[in-house]
Amino acid sequence: MGKEFRRAGKALTLMAIATMAPIAAQAAPSPEQVAEAALRAAPVWDGHNDVPEQLRARRKNILAGFDFRDTTNTADPAKGWQTMHTDLTRLRKGHVGAQFWSVYVSASLDDPHAVQATLEQIDVAKRLIASYPQDMQLATSAADVEKAMKAGKIASLLGMEGGHSIGGSLGVLRQMYALGARYMTLTHFKNTAWADSATDKPEHDGLTDFGRDVVREMQRIGILVDLSHTSEATMRATLAVAKAPVMFSHSNARAINHHSRNVSDPVLKAVAANGGIVMVNIFPTYVVEETRQWLAARAGEKARQDALNIGDPAAAEAALKDWETAHPMPRGTIKDVADNIDHIIAVAGIDHVGLGGDFDGVETTVVGMEDVSTYPALFAELARRGHSQADLEKISSGNMLRVMKAAEAYAAAHRGDPPIESPTTF
């Protein structure tokens, strides 16, 4: 009797295991499912998008007749305009729940015109956001971002790209904050009078004394310090001064792509110690080392053809086009973006990486990330590499939310500190 009972029990156990095995196999989610779950729980908080620049260049900031629900018909080859990367439909498809809209203006402008143009860009960004109240909500704090996301709206924040936007004035900096700006990139392609750019001749060994005061005042009032586009010396000098977390709104790993505006491993470690974040972008020049090398080769070929065809620029241009046809630019793929993310995680840790696409601010993208709708594909690639849903939620928006809260907490603790004063210049 006992033996028969044991045999029956063993048979039932084997049957149970056989029955459960298919269920267990079905329970393992696909990378796409992991990505979808992460993005539903924590939508993307993108660090940099240049739609306001497109509005200025294409429409002189006139919004009448502009439909931001669908911009897929915005190409105009005669004017050199490609289809825009961003609209509300594609932002929704990409699970973008918060966006820093860049209020960039040219670094070639003199101080008064840079300040005026920045004010105009803040205005047009705010008017665009207000035009779509069912979809977008102006955000000036981490709490605003959380509230907008909970309501199913795209939290819309403003970031100034380049310290020239304040015209060398801490008073202007404070007024930009009052108007809603919540980060400022210290430089763009050119140096300012107080900070060195990654793409200009060094002048200040990073920051001047006034530049250090700019960083201190930004953190005192709660504007995030953005180190994208800055030189290595500026990055290091800023991190030495910073008391609150800093950000790189759209940068990559220099170990992967050696461009001077990317972030070296020593700086990545310093960012981790600071509590900051590096938000990875999708521009091949900064993502893919082969693209950077191709650009250098193209520059050499252009110089060669110009020298061979002195007095005949048409011939030089035709020869260069022939060279480009024979040597097409490598664009890289979505996997190259993931490689940059993985490297930053390996050096700085999972808590210090995010996404700053630079959409509508670049001429081309890596293959597979042609517009803002493609973020789920990137997250599926990361899930395929073994990143958990919890990790993906940090990358998508959790890390940026933490950084902004920490910067706000620092500003709140120093609200009683007197403003740093600087003399007027005219």
Task: Give residue limits of the domains in the chain.
Answer: 29-288+331-413
Residues listed for the chain: 426
Read off the pLDDT of residues 275-300 as tens digits, 9 standing for 90 and up: 999 999 999 999 999 999 999 999 99
* Residues 6+ positions from 199 with CB-CB distance below 8 Å: 189, 190, 229, 260, 261
* pLDDT for residue 15: 52
In this prediction, residues 312-317 reach a mean pLDDT of 97
In this structure, the number of other CB atoms found within 10 A of the CB of residue 330 comes to 17
pLDDT of residue 26: 65
Q: Read off the pLDDT of residues 352-396 as tens digits, 9 standing for 90 and up.
A: 999 999 999 999 999 999 999 999 999 999 999 999 999 999 999
Share of the chain above pLDDT 70, in %: 94
Phi, psi at residue 264, to the nearest 5°?
A: -70, 165
The answer to whether residue 132 scores a pLDDT higher than 60 is yes
Considering only CA atoms, which of 110, 104, 252 is closest in space to residue 185? 104
* Average pLDDT, integer, range 22-47: 88
Residues designated as active site: 48, 50, 161, 188, 229, 250, 358
Compute the average pLDDT of residues 246-273: 98
- pLDDT score at 5: 41
DSSP letter for each residue of 163-177 = GGGGTT-HHHHHHHH
Burial tier of 353 (Cβ tally within 10 Å: 0-12, 13-18, 19+): buried
Class of domain 29-288+331-413: alpha beta
Long-range CB pairs of 199-206, under 8 A, 24+ apart, other chains included: 199/229, 199/260, 199/261, 202/231, 202/233, 204/233, 204/234, 205/233, 205/237, 206/231, 206/233, 206/234, 206/235, 206/236, 206/237, 206/238
